[in-house]
Amino acid sequence: MSANDKINELTISQPTKEMLSIAKEKGIETTWDRLEKQEPHCGFGQLGICCRNCTMGPCRIDPFGGEPRKGVCGATADTIVARNFARMVAAGTAAHSDHGRGVALTLLEGAEGKAPYPIKDKEKLKSVATKLGIEIEGKSDEEIAKEIAKKALEDFSRQNEDTLNFLKAYAPKKRFELWKSLGVLPRNIDREVVDIMHRTSIGVDNDPLSLIVQSIKTSLADGWGGSLLATELQDILFGTPQPVKGFADLGVLDEKKVNIIVHGHEPILSEKIVEAAESEEMQKLAKEVGAEGINVCGMCCTGNELLVRHGVPVAGNFLQQELAIITGAVEAMVVDVQCIMPSLPDIAKCYHTKIISTSKQAKFPGAVHIEFNEENADEIAKEIVKTAIENFKNRKKSVHIPNEKKECIVGFSVEAILSALGGSLDALIDAIKSGKIKGAVGIVGCNNPKVKHNYAHVELTKELIKNDILVVQTGCAAIACAEAGLLSLDAIELAGDGLKEVCKALNVPPVLHLGSCVDCSRILVLLGALAEALGVDISDLPVAGAAPEWMSEKAVAIGTYFVASGVFTVLGVVPPILGSKEVVKIATQDAEKLVGGKFAVETDPVKAAKLIIKHIEEKREKLGI
C-alpha cells in the first residue's frame, strides 16, 4: 500500500489528508503514527480483564476459561471488568463536573464583583432561578445569580440523603420517580465519584451489578448535575446560543493574520481571549508587527462553545489538533483542560508556535505557562494575546494552510429550537406523529484514531437523515459533520422527503449543532420536555443516542447517563467489557429492564443506523403512531 493510500484509510477529511502528507514528508510523528507503534494492543486491556488496583498484581484473567481465573485477591473477571468500567464513569463525571464547578464559582465571583464576568442573558438567569425555586421578585440580577451559584455549589457538597438541586428542577417526573424507586438518585456529585473510587479499591464491592448500579448513579450526577449546571450557567454568563453562521476545518486559518487557536473545554478562558483579540489595542499591535489582524479559531469543545455563541470559526476536532500546528501558521495554541495531546509542545518545536498552558490542573512540559484566574481574567487574556502577536515575527515561510473550509449553521440551544418551532414543541410532536420526522438521534463523542477519522460520524448521520430521522449533535461529532457540510442548508437535500419538508419550512439543517460535550445536557432537557409534553417517560420516545468514534472516559459517563435516562445508545468503538459475560449482559440487556435504556455495539455505521431505525420504529409502534 502506498503512503497516499494509507493516508486515505485514516480519514475522510481532505484537509486532514493534506496535512498528514506534509507530516509524513517532514518526519513529524502524529497520533496515527503512535497508534501504529502501540499495536497490537494488550488483549487483556481491551477486554477489561486486567487489574492494577493494588500491588499484589497487576492481575489478569484468562479470557478462554483457563488459569488464572481469579486475581490474587480472588476477584473474578466479572468483578474486575465492572470495577474498571465504574472507574471510567467516575473519571468522566469528575472531568465534566469539575468544569461545572468552575463555572458556578465564576458566576458567584462575577455576581459579587470579584471577577469581570457580567450576566449576558438575563432571561436565562430568571428562567434557571424559577426552575430552582428561587424567588426573583424585587431582587437584582446579581442577587439572583448569587443564589443560583450557591444552589449549584450545593450539588457538590450536600451531605444528607437528598438529591441534586438541578436534577430535581429539570428531570421529568416519571423518570425522577423511577430513579427514586431504584435508589439511584445521586446525593452530591463529588460524593458519588468518591463512592466509586472507594468501592472499587481492594477488598470493597465485588458484586458486578452493585458496581454498575453505582456507575448509573454517578453518571446521573454528571448528566443531570455537573454537565447540566455547566451548560445553564454558561448560558447565563456568555449568552444562550441562537442560530449563527460559522466555518469549520483547517482552512479557517489565515496566513495574513495572527492565528490563535483556543483548545480545551472551558469558555471562561476562551471568551476572554476573543474579547481581548477584538480590542482596538490588540488589533493595532497586530498591525504593527505586520499582520492584517488577529484570527481566533477554536479547537475541540472550547471551539464549539465559541462557535455556537459567536460564530467564531473552528479549526477542527480532536484528531486535527496536531495538524493545525503543522500548517506553520499558528502563533499560539492556548490550552486549558481535557483532550489536549501531550505531544503538542514536541510538534511545536518544529515550528514557531507557542503552546500556552493556562490551568493549574494541566501542565505541559515544553509549554509556556500563563496561569489563568477569573479575578484577573482581562489582564491575563491580553497577556496571552500579546504573546501570540509578538510571536508573529518568528513565523517561518513554509506555511501550508489547506483551502477547504465549510460553512455551517450552529447554535441550536433548547431555547433556539423552541423558538424555531414557534415557542412550543407542538410542531415537532405533530411532525413526529405524522411520520414526517420518524424520530430523533443524538450523535455525540470523540474521534478515535482506531476509527477512520470522521467517517462513522458522517456516514451514520447521512443514513439517519435519509430515513427522516432528525439528528442533534455535540462535541467532535458536530465538528465532523460541519466539515462534511451536513450542518448547512444544502444538506436538506440529503434528507428524506418528510424531514426535508420540515427543515425547509423551519429553514434549519437536518443536523442541529447543540454545542460542546457538556451540552449533551441540552439533549436531556429536550428529551425531558418532549416526554412531559406527550405524558410519557423518556424511554417511550422514538429516540436513540450514538457515540460512533468515542475514546474518552467522559464518553463512558455520557453514554451511561443516556442509558440511565432511558435512551437506547449505540457505541461504534467496543468498550473494554467483553471479558465479562455478566457485565455485557447487564449493559446490553438487563439495563433496559432496570432503567429503560441499554447499550448496543456496532462498528459499522450503516449497520448501526439500521439498529437505530429498527428501535425507533418499535417505539413508534408502541406509542401507536
Read off the DSSP letter of residue 39. Answer: P
Is residue 503 marked as binding? no
Q: Which three cell numbers stand for residue 359?
A: 490551568
How many DSSP H helices and E strands does the chain contain?
28, 16
Phi/psi for 338 (5° steps) reads: 75, 130
Nearest to 355 by CA among 321, 398, 312, 402: 321
What residues pair up with 441 in beta bridges, in sequence order?
A: 471, 544
Is residue 301 marked as binding? yes
Is residue 50 marked as binding? yes
Q: How many CB atoms lie within 10 A of CB 125?
A: 25
What residues pair up with 453 in beta bridges, in sequence order?
A: 11
Phi/psi for 543 (5° steps) reads: -135, 165
Does the N-terminal peptide bond of residue 605 adopt cis geometry, omega within 30 degrees of 0?
no
Is residue 350 marked as binding? no
For 576-606, b/e burial (b = at least 16 CB within 10 A) is bbbbbebbbebbeebbbebbbbbbbbbeebe
Say how far apart CA 623 and CA 625 lie, in whole Å: 6
| Contact status, residue 31 vs residue 446, Cβ threshold 8 Å | no
Give one DSSP letter per residue of 589-617, joined into a string: IIHHHHHS--EEE-SSHHHHHHHHHHHHH
Give one DSSP letter per residue of 66-91, joined into a string: -S--S-TT---HHHHHHHHHHHHHHH
H/E segment holding residue 439: strand 439-443
With residues binned 3-state (H G I as helix, E B as strand, rest as coil), the percentages for the chain, rounded to 5, are 55, 10, 35
**CA distances, 47 to each of 72, 83, 435, 579 (Å):** 19, 13, 41, 5
Q: Which three cell numbers stand for residue 400?
A: 501550508
Nearest to 552 by CA among 195, 148, 100, 88: 88
Q: Which three cell numbers stand for residue 561?
A: 447517563
Q: Which three cell numbers stand for residue 39?
A: 499495536
Is residue 59 marked as binding? yes
| Contact status, residue 359 vs residue 337, Cβ threshold 8 Å | yes
Read off the DSSP letter of residue 294. Answer: E
Nearest to 152 by CA among 229, 236, 224: 229
N-term to C-term CA, the chain: 51
Is residue 51 marked as binding? yes
| Contact status, residue 457 vs residue 573, Cβ threshold 8 Å | no
What residues pair up with 294 in beta bridges, in sequence order?
A: 258
Q: Where is the binding site for [4Fe-4S] cluster, in residues? A: 42, 50-51, 54, 59, 73
Q: Where is the binding site, in residues? A: 42, 50-51, 54, 59, 73, 265, 301, 339, 446, 476, 517
Q: Where is the binding site for [Ni-4Fe-4S] cluster, in residues? A: 265, 301, 339, 446, 476, 517
